Amino acid sequence: MKDYQKDFISFAIDRGVLKFGEFTLKSGRTSPYFFNAGLFNKGSDLAKLGRFYAAALMDAKVEFDVLFGPAYKGIPIATATAVALYDHHQKDTPYCFNRKEKKDHGEGGNLVGSELNGKVMLVDDVITAGTAIRESMEIVEANGASLAGVLIALDRQEKGKGELSAIQEVERDFGATIISIVGLNDIIEFLKDDPEFNQHLPKVQAYREQYGV
């Protein structure tokens, strides 16, 4: 685990974004941990978050033309990442996002920001089973663009619909690279080393045994 990844887990715990307990997921699975990116909700959070996403993106060295943040949660993340890429990595990157509601006046269209074409880096918060990513892919494909990669904060590293992980399915179906700031493996590594949160390790490990890949 790299330093920025460890710092990211501490930051997420500190802000109440990463919690341990009992949670029901969108998939119906009961999970001993949950990542609620909506609780990154102040200016300093967003500035730091952008820096972590940009660090993961630079680390991955995947070529792309435009950042796309699907509504709603992807919007501030794509924006903060674009700012951090410019401020900290001298990369001036176009970005865009979609609106969920159809607009029938003004410039029309469902996209705001730059055009969605070329190689797209889709930015979102979490992948569990990949459902949200598939919905966003329809927008990318409808614009004739291709998916270069998916950039997320947390890869829960769980099985998708079949035996493959959600990530493996998205990689297979869209030929894209998945980049995450951290994965479940990093959280487990963090728990092993942290005396305060070590108590949660057995349940998280048992969950990985059952649903992990």
Active-site positions? Answer: 103, 105
Q: How far apart are CA 181 and CA 175, in angstroms?
A: 20
Q: How far apart are CA 140 and CA 127, in angstroms?
A: 18
Q: Known binder of ligand: residue 159?
A: no
How many CB atoms are located within 10 Å of the residue 3 CB? 8
Q: Known binder of ligand: residue 72?
A: yes
How many CB atoms are located within 10 Å of the residue 204 CB? 19
Q: Give the 3-state secondary structure of residue 15.
A: coil
Q: Please tell me the count of residues contacting ligand OMP according to CB under 6 A.
A: 15
Q: Tell me the CA distances in angstroms from 133 to 54, 104, 106, one per residue in order.
A: 20, 26, 29
CB of 160 to ligand OMP, least distance (A): 8
Among 2, 26, 91, 192, binds ligand OMP (CB under 6 A): 26
Is residue 75 close enough to count as binding ligand OMP by CB under 6 A? Answer: no
Instruction: Name residues contacting ligand OMP, limited to 143-182 (CB under 6 A).
Output: 166
3-14 and 43-60 are packed helices; what angle lies between their axes, rounded to 10 degrees? 150
Between 80 and 166, whose beta carbon lies closer to ligand OMP? 166
Between 85 and 129, whose beta carbon lies closer to ligand OMP? 129
Span from 5-13, 87-95, 124-132, 176-184 in contact with ligand OMP (CB under 6 A) = 124-132
Instruction: Name residues contacting ligand OMP, limited to 128-147 (CB under 6 A).
Output: 128-132
Nearest Cα to Cα of residue 126 among 103, 92, 151, 109: 151
Binding site for ligand OMP (CB under 6 A): 25-27, 34-36, 125-132, 166
Residues making up the annotated binding site for orotate are 34-35, 128, 156
